[in-house]
Structure 1
């Protein structure tokens, strides 16, 4: 079997958010309102964002683990992201490297404690509903092939993780990938569920955050100052349409020319960066939005290269449910 302590946020990602000779990462524990620091040096046994035997389970009495496969994927993703960080740009022709990152991000979406807690919560609510409806006890018993209820739970998570690359990576590859950069003064956070999603709250439909949903965007921090943004192609189309509308206004001498030209220049710069895979610098308000998503989706820990977590405290004070990660909302209201 694998080592008992297994990380759901890979150690190479935690090290990227460290500083100083002791390679310290600052962390905020949302459950305990506690700020602390821990070392990510190779001599340190990092016990944060980790759990014992989280990827170990039994099938027909045979012990199995996902740890070696996850470690292999992490090694490849660490190499690709290191090259991106060094170049401060996405490679012009990087089909294989992009596929590696898409697989890694797809797996990272489902391997965390946040996802496990979300599925446990949904499973508990579903069981309560079906029990209230009179379902027989055998309905709730796990398949004999996976034994106990706890082992069945872990085997189910293992199946989700195993299938993530096949099921979700192709959807990620359909997004428009580009890099966003901030400054050392206003760094990105990284939560313990680091691949986060966002969509316009006013978007139509219930499944707003599904990877195939129109408008959904994903963000993934590579370092305190660099992150990947995966944008829905519809936003790129909207920006190109916006440039064309501005051009028509300028030709028709409608509107204030200097303001329109300034808008066109800003939008054109973003479009060019998106099409080229180059980097765009974001404003402090964009960093705040990014960090708020990391805080909301983190199940427990928020990491930073700095010890300032005032934003996390403020979000919790405004809404105590922020202490935990987001949960699924079932549309019918039954559970």
Structure 2
């Protein structure tokens, strides 16, 4: 295939996905409400302009000006009609294994291709550089292995990692998939780094956000009203078992239902995992999912409504939210 491109303005989040969070006309005139975390500024922009960076996926110093842009386009082309159908049918119950593989690949690549991920790699390599210098490595030795800050070697390392997603895709395929739904008056956010991770299991200093770890929950907003969650199988097993227990109590010991917290919710969540139909999210759950978009985003958060009070509140409470997540190297 041709791996060169004349496209200079390259999206780090595909237009077809951003479109689902916009308003107004279709095409280049479709708009997004945008919140800039660094400046706390709100503004409108076109979907065509959002999350673009010039020649971001072009391989540095390549003699034939090769680029990942055409390859990324393949993943987008395979996932886009599936995501469109999920939105139209309001269900993931119809997805085949091949369909899931295409979407899992798209999610894995999307997680690795963002500008925030590039900056995180720069941060980690920079921290390692400092550690190596502290134990006596020379600048020349370090740059030979890791490249210098802002170098083509580091950029090309980032591009190489984007395509190395086989292991991540396998982990995503092993997850339990469920669809979350919200109402039109309380829409989901999306950001410039839309794949978010959350884990309630405390694993101490080692961290708990690995895609293979027990308890992990991975989210990708698909539209203003739908978010796809890929969760640890232990979560779906607990939900389905909870549903069965509630049904058993209804049949043989209904007074004991008073001891359960939200038995109807247990049934609905179990049904959502088993059927593929969405489970309605409370206002608090929508707020939580949107807070993940704010915290994971590098700079920009998008919505179909000009309602970014949550982002302003989070930044007001903690200035660290003005940028994306950074790994601590000790």
Under a length normalisation based on structure 1, what TM-score does the superposition of the two structures give?
0.89
Indicate the residue corresponding to 1:5 in structure 2.
9
Offset at residue 278 of structure 1 (A): 1.5
Name the CA distance, whole Å, in 2 between partners of 1:191 and 1:132.
37
Number of aligned residue pairs: 323
For the Cα contact (< 8 Å) 1:250–1:260, is it kept in 2? no
Offset at residue 93 of structure 1 (A): 4.6
Unaligned runs of 5+ in 2: none
The alpha-carbon distance between structure 1 residues 28 and 263, as it changes in their structure 2 partners (threshold 3 A), is closer
Unaligned runs of 5+ in 1: 41-45
Indicate the residue corresponding to 1:162 in structure 2.
163
For the Cα contact (< 8 Å) 2:246–2:266, is it kept in 1? no
For the Cα contact (< 8 Å) 1:270–1:280, is it kept in 2? yes
Indicate the residue corresponding to 2:110 in structure 1.
108
The alpha-carbon distance between structure 1 residues 129 and 279, as it changes in their structure 2 partners (threshold 3 A), is same
Deviations for 1:116-147, whole angstroms, at most 9, x for unmatched residues? 11111111111112112110233222479x99
Name the CA distance, whole Å, in 2 between partners of 1:129 and 1:147.
14
Offset at residue 103 of structure 1 (A): 0.2
The alpha-carbon distance between structure 1 residues 205 and 251, as it changes in their structure 2 partners (threshold 3 A), is farther
Indicate the residue corresponding to 2:182 in structure 1.
182
Name the CA distance, whole Å, in 2 between partners of 1:287 and 1:251.
33
Structure 1: 4+ residue segments shifted above 6 A: 146-149, 247-252
RMSD: 2.5
Indicate the residue corresponding to 1:222 in structure 2.
222
For the Cα contact (< 8 Å) 1:215–1:235, is it kept in 2? yes
Match of 2:129 among 123, 127, 136: 127
For the Cα contact (< 8 Å) 2:126–2:149, is it kept in 1? no
For the Cα contact (< 8 Å) 1:143–1:152, is it kept in 2? no
1:62-81 equivalent positions in 2, closer than 5 A: 62-81=64-83
Name the CA distance, whole Å, in 2 between partners of 1:149 and 1:315.
30
Name the CA distance, whole Å, in 1 between partners of 2:263 and 2:201.
26
Indicate the residue corresponding to 1:195 in structure 2.
195
Name the CA distance, whole Å, in 2 between partners of 1:62 and 1:118.
28
Name the CA distance, whole Å, in 2 between partners of 1:262 and 1:123.
46
Indicate the residue corresponding to 1:298 in structure 2.
297
Structure 2 residue 243 is the aligned partner of structure 1 residue 236: no
For the Cα contact (< 8 Å) 2:189–2:224, is it kept in 1? yes
For the Cα contact (< 8 Å) 2:175–2:231, is it kept in 1? yes
Indicate the residue corresponding to 2:24 in structure 1.
20
Under a length normalisation based on structure 2, what TM-score does the superposition of the two structures give?
0.90
Indicate the residue corresponding to 2:313 in structure 1.
314
**Any idea what SS the aligned residue of 1:275 has?**
helix
